[in-house]
A and B are shown apart, each in its own frame.
Chain A
Amino acid sequence: MAEASGEGGASDAGARAGDRTAALTSFFRDHPRLRTLAVAGPPYAVLLLFFAIPLLAMLVVSFQTGEIGGPWTLRNYMDFLGSSTYLTVVWKTLVISVQVTFIVAVIGYALAYSIVRFSRRTTLLLLLVILPFWTSYIIRMYAWINILQSDGVLDSTLNMLGLPAVSLLYSDPAVLIGFTYVWLPLAVLPFYASLTNLDGDLIEASKDLGAGPVRTFLSVTLPMTINGVVTGVILVFIPTFGSFITPRLLGGTNNIMIGMVIENQFKSAFNWPFGAAIGMVISVVVVALLVLGTRLGGGLFATGGEEA
Chain B
Amino acid sequence: MREFDDSLPSVNRRSFLQGASAAGITAAAGCLGGGGGGDGRVPMDVEEWPPEDIGGSLNMWNWYDSWAEWAMEAFGEEFDVEVSNTGYSSPDQWYSQLEAGNSDIDNIAATTNWVERSIENDFLHELPVDIMPAWDNITDRIKEASSYQKDGSVYAVPESLVLYPLTYNDEYFDEAPSSWGVLWDEEHEGNICMWDNATVSCQIAAMYTGQDPIQPDDYEEIEEVLIQQKPLLQTYWGDYQQGMSLFVNEDVVAGPLTMGRTYTARFGEGAPVHYTAPEEGAMYTSDLFVIPKGSPNPIASLQFTNWATETENAAKLFETMGYQPAVDISDELSEEDAEFTNWPDDWNLIFSETLSDEVRSRYDEIWTAVKAA
Query: What is the number of residues of chain B that contact chain A, defined by CB distance less than 8 Å?
Result: 29
Inter-chain CA distance A66–B356, complex, in Å, is: 12
Q: Render B212-245 as a binary contact track against A, CB cut-off 8 A, 1 for contact.
A: 0000000000000000001101111011011001
The one of B233, B239, B361, B372 that contacts A249, using a Cβ cutoff of 8 Å: B239
Query: Which of B357, B361, B371: most chain A Cβ within 10 A?
Result: B371
CB neighbours of B242 from chain A (8 A)? 145, 249
Interface residue? B251 (CB, 8 A): yes
Interface residue? B66 (CB, 8 A): no
Contact A268 B357 (CB under 8 A): no
The one of B198, B230, B361 that contacts A253, using a Cβ cutoff of 8 Å: B230
Q: Render B240-257 as a binary contact track against A, CB cut-off 8 A, 1 for contact.
A: 011001000101000000
Inter-chain CA distance A180–B318, complex, in Å, is: 41
CB neighbours of B57 from chain A (8 A)? none
Chain B, residue nearest A142 (CB): B241
Contacts A85-B372, A248-B196 given; does A264 touch B364 at CB 8 Å: yes
Contact B361 A271 (CB under 8 A): yes
Q: Render B193-205 as a binary contact track against A, CB cut-off 8 A, 1 for contact.
A: 0001111000000
Contact A248 B239 (CB under 8 A): yes
Interface residue? B369 (CB, 8 A): yes
The one of A66, A85, A92, A268 that contacts B365, using a Cβ cutoff of 8 Å: A85
Interface residue? B360 (CB, 8 A): yes
Contact A92 B235 (CB under 8 A): no
Interface residue? A266 (CB, 8 A): yes
Contact A269 B360 (CB under 8 A): yes
Interface residue? B97 (CB, 8 A): no
Contact B360 A270 (CB under 8 A): yes
CB neighbours of A267 from chain B (8 A)? 90, 92
Interface residue? B368 (CB, 8 A): yes
Q: Render A82-93 as a binary contact track against B, CB cut-off 8 A, 1 for contact.
A: 000110110010
Q: How far is the CB of B267 from chain A (nearest CB, A)?
A: 22
Contact A268 B198 (CB under 8 A): yes
Interface residue? A185 (CB, 8 A): no
The one of B197, B234, B241 that contacts A252, using a Cβ cutoff of 8 Å: B234
Chain B, residue nearest A138 (CB): B239
Inter-chain CA distance A145–B251, complex, in Å, is: 12
Q: Render B341-373 as a binary contact track against A, CB cut-off 8 A, 1 for contact.
A: 000000000000000010011001101110110
Interface residue? A265 (CB, 8 A): yes
CB neighbours of B369 from chain A (8 A)? 85
Inter-chain CA distance A261–B367, complex, in Å, is: 10
Inter-chain CA distance A150–B233, complex, in Å, is: 15
Contact A253 B235 (CB under 8 A): yes
Contacts A269-B198, A271-B361 given; does A88 touch B92 at CB 8 Å: no
Q: List 14 A-B contacts (CB under 8 A).
A: A85-B368, A85-B369, A145-B245, A170-B234, A170-B235, A253-B371, A254-B371, A264-B364, A264-B368, A268-B197, A268-B198, A269-B361, A270-B360, A271-B364
Residues of A near any B CB (own CB < 8 A) = 66, 85-86, 88-89, 92, 142, 145, 149-151, 170, 248-249, 251-254, 256, 260-261, 264-271
**9 cross-chain pairs, A with B, having the tightest CB-CB distances, nearest first:** A248-B238, A170-B235, A256-B371, A269-B364, A85-B369, A88-B372, A89-B372, A252-B235, A85-B372
Q: A170-B234, A252-B235 known; 13 other A-B pairs, CB under 8 Å?
A: A86-B372, A89-B368, A92-B372, A145-B242, A150-B251, A151-B249, A253-B230, A253-B235, A256-B368, A261-B368, A264-B364, A264-B367, A268-B197
